[in-house]
């Protein structure tokens, strides 16, 4: 039997339940996406992984800056973050995914391409590089390059407008079960191709906002043209994300409950209130 609470009216009760769902009972969004998180970086004043996975380490002096949701990380030539060996993720023949938020600024123009995430091996003989690219003088391209040590495959998307000077969300999914590679921008799948590569076994650090010149191919500097880039909400997964998972990650820093959860809880709350009113 409910005890009357003078601070809680019957009409308030459903909204309290909904409020508990949205604000009190929902874990960070990486825990609402299916499967395990290898690492999750929100860059709130540190390079720690909120998922309990491997923490990142600084290379040079990347700076914490204000981002859309809390803080982010400003990276540029020689200043970036990395998941160091032996903690860097090695996918092998498993599916894997990555997502992040980014903003390219104009202090150092991108002349050709600028890396967002780099899973790399010696001389980039194996790994994955997600990058933005410049076409006809406009930074409007998104590219994922995959290499298994003997063959290279590239997935490209060219946006209708410039990607510069605004926050965007990018993600990729390498799905071994379907032999598909998918590229996403701002929560939408924008490119897809067949995957024909073997095991991907990078042997060096997983880089956040950098393509390390030490392991770059001859003639390739850290940045082609150089750039300043802010990154935030970097999430790495050891499985293939669904389209809905990517949309969820792109939506914001706090997960939205599944529609089925809302559909169940609101009628239940209303039914409890009606029953309670009927007893008076």
Q: Assess if residue 7 is contained within a domain.
A: no
- Mapping DSSP onto H, E and C, the string for 257-280 reads CCHHHHHHHHHHHHHHHHHHHHCC
Instruction: Say yes or no to pLDDT of 27 above 50.
Output: no
Residue 256: the pLDDT is: 33
pLDDT in tens, 74-103: 987 778 898 888 788 889 999 999 999 999
| Domain total of the chain | 1
How close are the terminal C-alpha atoms of the chain, in Å?
12
How sure is the predictor about 120, in pLDDT bands with cuts at 50, 70 and 90?
confident
In this prediction the pTM is 0.76
Residue 108: the pLDDT is: 55
Given the DSSP bridges, would you call strands 188-194 and 228-237 parallel, antiparallel or unpaired?
Answer: unpaired
Q: Assess if residue 242 is contained within a domain.
A: yes
Domain hosting 41: range is 34-249
Residue 263: the pLDDT is: 40
The chain-wide mean pLDDT, for the chain, equals 75
Q: Assess if residue 28 is contained within a domain.
A: no
Q: Assess if residue 268 is contained within a domain.
A: no
Any idea what the CATH number is for the domain that residue 64 is in? 2.60.120.200
pLDDT in tens, 201-256: 988 888 888 765 444 444 444 444 456 789 999 999 999 999 999 999 998 764 33
């Amino acid at each position: 039997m409910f005890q009357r609470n003078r601070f809680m009216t019957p009409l308030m009760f459903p909204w309290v339940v909904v409020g508990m769902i949205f604000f009190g009972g929902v874990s960070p969004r990486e825990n609402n996406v299916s499967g395990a998180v290898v690492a999750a970086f929100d860059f709130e004043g540190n390079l720690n992984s909120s998922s309990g996975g491997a923490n990142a380490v600084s290379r040079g002096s990347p700076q914490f800056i204000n981002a859309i949701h809390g803080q982010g990380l400003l990276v540029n030539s020689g200043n970036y973050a990395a998941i160091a060996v032996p903690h860097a993720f090695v996918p092998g023949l498993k599916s894997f995914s990555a997502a992040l938020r980014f903003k390219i600024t104009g202090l150092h123009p991108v002349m050709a391409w600028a890396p967002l995430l780099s899973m790399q091996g010696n001389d980039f003989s194996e790994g994955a590089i997600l990058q933005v690219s410049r076409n006809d003088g406009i930074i409007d391209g998104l590219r994922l390059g995959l290499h298994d040590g003997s063959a290279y495959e590239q997935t490209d998307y060219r946006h209708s407008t410039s990607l510069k000077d605004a926050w965007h969300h990018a993600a990729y999914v390498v799905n071994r079960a379907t032999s598909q590679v998918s590229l996403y921008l701002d929560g939408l799948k924008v490119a897809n191709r067949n995957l024909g590569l073997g095991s991907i076994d990078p042997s060096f650090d997983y880089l956040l906002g950098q393509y390390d010149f030490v392991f770059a191919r001859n003639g390739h500097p850290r940045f082609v043209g150089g750039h300043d880039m802010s990154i935030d909400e970097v999430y790495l997964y050891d499985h293939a994300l669904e389209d809905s998972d990517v949309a969820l990650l792109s939506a914001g820093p706090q997960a939205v409950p599944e529609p089925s959860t809302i559909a169940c809880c609101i009628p239940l709350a209303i039914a409890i209130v009606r029953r309670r009113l009927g007893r008076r």
